[in-house]
């Protein structure tokens, strides 16, 4: 089996064609991602001097060596021949060599009217490599098209498990945007502001959330998805008060014992 090699700029047009054969939205998003985030930690697989596969990962800042799997595809002419699994296996070996803690991957459950479940083979491949389903975001990409998130532990921590301390930072929303590859799914960006004594600054309120939800509704959105670290106790009351539902979490996402909590809000109840 050939070895994966680093991706170069000259590979991109071949890679985009491979992805586009499966999903034109993915192809567009991949091209934007390569342009915005660069080609570090991105790889291709060649057979007879021809690029037939692509994979890679993106490191997550402010985590204990967590990564997301990036665009992983094999061209249709070579699909079903073991190239995808071998390519991904090599990538996981590279991550283990770097002592990466955990890797996650997002997969759609889209079912094409003619081609059927086009990502079914990908789901089975990830499961065969030890990825486990951790979370399902219903109607994430579109009505009836969910996002499934799988996780895989790469390196078991040998450190003694410490008590996770709760934190109460001042969190402010600073924008909203439609999530890439989705139809009408939005999220809010947020920042942590420095606490100043005697000024009584507080995190986002119920009113802040209502303003944001109405803005998304006015923009044509249908759902809002939010994520927060699991050690922030003050976020729950305002989220619940405006109707956000807790979906689940990605285990040990930030560090051992600190997970990424996922919430969603359907806007069909907002006029």
Question: Is the pTM higher than 0.85?
Answer: yes
In this predicted structure, what is the pLDDT of residue 112?
87
Where do runs of H (alpha helix) occur along 98-186?
120-128
In this predicted structure, what is the pLDDT of residue 201?
60
In this predicted structure, what is the pLDDT of residue 196?
62
The domains of the chain are located at 5-153, 170-269
Distance from chain centroid for Cα 142: 16
* Residue 90 exposed, middle or buried by CB count within 10 Å (0-12, 13-18, 19+): middle
Give the integer Cα–Cα distance in Å for 48 and 216: 49
- DSSP for 6-73, written as a single string: E--GGGHHHHHHHHHTT-HHHHHHHHHHHHHH-STTEEEEEETTEEEEEEEEEEPTTSSSEEEE---E
Structural tokens at position 211: 């303003």
Distance from chain centroid for Cα 16: 20
Bridge-based pairing state of the strands 258-266 and 245-255: antiparallel
Q: pLDDT tens digits for the chain (271 residues)? A: 789 999 999 999 999 999 999 889 899 999 999 999 999 999 999 999 999 999 999 999 989 899 999 999 999 999 989 999 999 999 999 999 999 999 999 999 999 888 889 889 899 999 999 999 999 999 999 999 999 999 999 988 766 666 788 998 999 999 999 999 999 999 999 999 877 655 556 789 999 999 999 999 999 999 999 999 999 999 999 999 999 999 999 999 999 999 999 999 999 988 7
Taking CA atoms, 33 is separated from 1, 12, 71, 160, 191, in Å, by: 28, 11, 10, 37, 22
* Residue 209 exposed, middle or buried by CB count within 10 Å (0-12, 13-18, 19+): buried
- DSSP for 183-239, written as a single string: SSEEEEEEEEEPP-TTS------HHHHHHHHHHHHHTT--EEEEEEETT-GGGHHHH
Pick the CATH number of 5-153 from 3.40.50.2000, 3.50.50.60, 3.40.630.30, 3.30.1490.20: 3.40.630.30
**Beta carbons within 8 Å of 82's beta carbon, 6+ residues apart:** 1
Class (C level, CATH) for 170-269: alpha beta
Structural tokens at position 137: 């975001």
Taking CA atoms, 46 is separated from 52, 85, 87, 138, in Å, by: 6, 14, 10, 36
5-153 and 170-269: identical CATH topology: yes
Structural tokens at position 179: 């999530």
Q: CB count, 10 Å around CB of 32?
A: 11
Phi, psi of 32 (to 5 degrees): -65, -40
* Residue 91 exposed, middle or buried by CB count within 10 Å (0-12, 13-18, 19+): buried
CA angle 226, 34, 12 (to 5 degrees): 145
């Amino acid at each position: 089996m050939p070895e994966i090699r680093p991706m170069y700029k000259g590979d991109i047009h071949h890679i985009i064609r491979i992805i586009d054969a499966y999903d034109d939205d993915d192809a567009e998003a991949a091209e934007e991602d390569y342009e915005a985030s660069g080609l570090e930690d991105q790889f291709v697989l060649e057979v007879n001097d021809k690029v037939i596969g692509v994979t890679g990962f993106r490191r997550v800042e402010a985590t204990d060596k967590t990564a997301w799997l990036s665009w992983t595809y094999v061209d249709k002419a070579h699909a079903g021949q073991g190239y995808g699994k071998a390519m991904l296996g090599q990538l996981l070996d590279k991550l283990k060599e770097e002592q990466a803690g955990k890797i996650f991957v997002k997969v759609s459950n889209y079912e094409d009217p003619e081609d059927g479940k086009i990502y079914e083979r990908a789901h089975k491949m990830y499961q065969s490599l030890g990825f486990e389903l951790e979370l399902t975001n219903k109607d994430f990409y579109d009505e009836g098209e969910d996002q499934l998130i799988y996780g895989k532990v790469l390196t078991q921590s040998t450190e003694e498990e410490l008590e996770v301390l709760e934190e109460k930072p001042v969190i402010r929303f600073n924008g909203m945007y439609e999530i890439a590859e989705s139809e009408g799914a939005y999220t809010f960006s947020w920042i942590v502001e420095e606490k100043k004594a005697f000024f009584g600054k507080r995190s986002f309120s119920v009113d802040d959330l209502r303003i944001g939800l109405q803005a998304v509704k006015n923009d044509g959105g249908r759902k809002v998805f939010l994520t927060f670290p699991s050690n922030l106790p003050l976020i729950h009351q305002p989220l619940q008060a405006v109707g956000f539902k807790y979906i689940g979490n990605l285990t040990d996402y930030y560090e051992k014992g600190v997970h990424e909590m996922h919430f969603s809000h359907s806007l069909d109840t907002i006029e």
